[in-house]
């Protein structure tokens, strides 16, 4: 069992417990009362390269990333720096995230939020909508195609965009078949955890031009942003590099403004 399989197995157990105490009907009612969040896809393409900045305490590959960890302050700094959207980690066991962090970020900023979670069940989709998310993550490597299709239908019903994450050309073909409008290419190898921007260069060739493409992981500076932009990427998702900086707003500007100002 690899790390992704381990996390997904744990997530299935967690969701089963959550469903027992928080029925789906209640989440749907909360989602309806809250209404739709800001447009995620539109935000990503509002600049020459959109930035999804991540709010993440730790990860299995690198351990603790930021301490002290203050989600609202991080979110406000990202917004001040010019980020187009935020990604908020939901998994507590492996990433130190959770609903409390998401609520705090939602209350702190007006940006579209990605519910960054290992989604395995429709309950999570409606949980995202009830919290004010604009999009949910679906990972092709974690689910079979029929399940992915069903969760996309649930997301549409909940008024959420889907960021469908792929790691190679075969997974990208699945995302294209499912007509995913936003496709994220994760540059991190799931087996070795090594990141390589060449993954984006390889995988993007199989993605039609009418999709919004996000390059994820391994982007460290403005030069990397320029590199993936030249490949045809519409947006990037960055967490660890920014989170290790004292001045988060300044780090966003240093990474993105050379690209934005050169366009």
CA–CA dist 248, 66 (Å, integer): 11
Task: Tell me, yes or no, if 116 is annotated catalytic.
Answer: yes
Task: Tell me, yes or no, if 217 is annotated catalytic.
Answer: yes
Of the listed 117, 154, 171, 216, which one is catalytic? Answer: 216
Of the listed 117, 171, 217, 240, which one is catalytic? Answer: 217
Joined tokens for residue 115: 């519910």
Of the listed 130, 186, 187, 215, which one is catalytic? Answer: 186
Task: Tell me, yes or no, if 191 is annotated catalytic.
Answer: no
Residue listed under structure tokens 């989709």 = 125
Task: Tell me, yes or no, if 215 is annotated catalytic.
Answer: no
Cβ atoms of 215 and 236 within 8 Å: the answer is yes
Task: Tell me, yes or no, if 186 is annotated catalytic.
Answer: yes
Of the listed 79, 116, 117, 240, which one is catalytic? Answer: 116
Of the listed 117, 154, 165, 240, which one is catalytic? Answer: 165
Task: Tell me, yes or no, if 79 is annotated catalytic.
Answer: no
Of the listed 56, 87, 130, 154, which one is catalytic? Answer: 56
Residues catalogued as catalytic: 54, 56, 116, 165, 186, 216-217
């Amino acid at each position: 069992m690899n790390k992704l399989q381990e996390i997904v197995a744990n997530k299935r157990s967690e969701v089963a417990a959550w469903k027992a105490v928080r029925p789906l009907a209640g989440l749907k009612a909360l989602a309806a009362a809250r209404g739709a969040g800001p447009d995620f896809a539109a935000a990503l393409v509002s600049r020459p390269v959109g930035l999804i900045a991540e709010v993440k305490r730790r990860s299995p590959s690198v351990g603790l990333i930021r301490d002290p960890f203050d989600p609202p302050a991080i979110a406000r700094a990202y917004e001040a720096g010019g980020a187009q959207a935020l990604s908020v980690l939901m998994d507590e066991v492996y990433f130190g995230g959770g609903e409390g962090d998401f609520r705090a970020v939602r209350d702190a900023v007006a940006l579209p939020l990605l519910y960054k979670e290992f989604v395995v069940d429709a309950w999570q989709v409606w949980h995202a909508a009830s919290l004010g998310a604009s999009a949910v993550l679906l990972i092709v490597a974690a689910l079979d195609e029929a399940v992915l299709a069903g969760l996309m239908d649930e997301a549409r019903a909940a008024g959420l965009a889907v960021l469908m994450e792929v790691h190679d050309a075969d997974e990208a073909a699945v995302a294209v078949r499912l007509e995913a409008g936003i496709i994220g290419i994760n540059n991190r190898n799931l087996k070795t955890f090594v990141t390589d921007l060449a993954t984006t260069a390889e995988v993007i060739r199989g993605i039609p031009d009418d999709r919004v493409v996000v390059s994820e992981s391994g982007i460290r500076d403005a030069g990397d942003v320029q590199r993936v932009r030249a490949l045809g990427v519409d947006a990037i998702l960055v967490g660890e590099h920014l989170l290790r900086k004292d001045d988060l707003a300044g780090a966003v500007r240093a990474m993105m403004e050379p690209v934005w100002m050169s366009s």
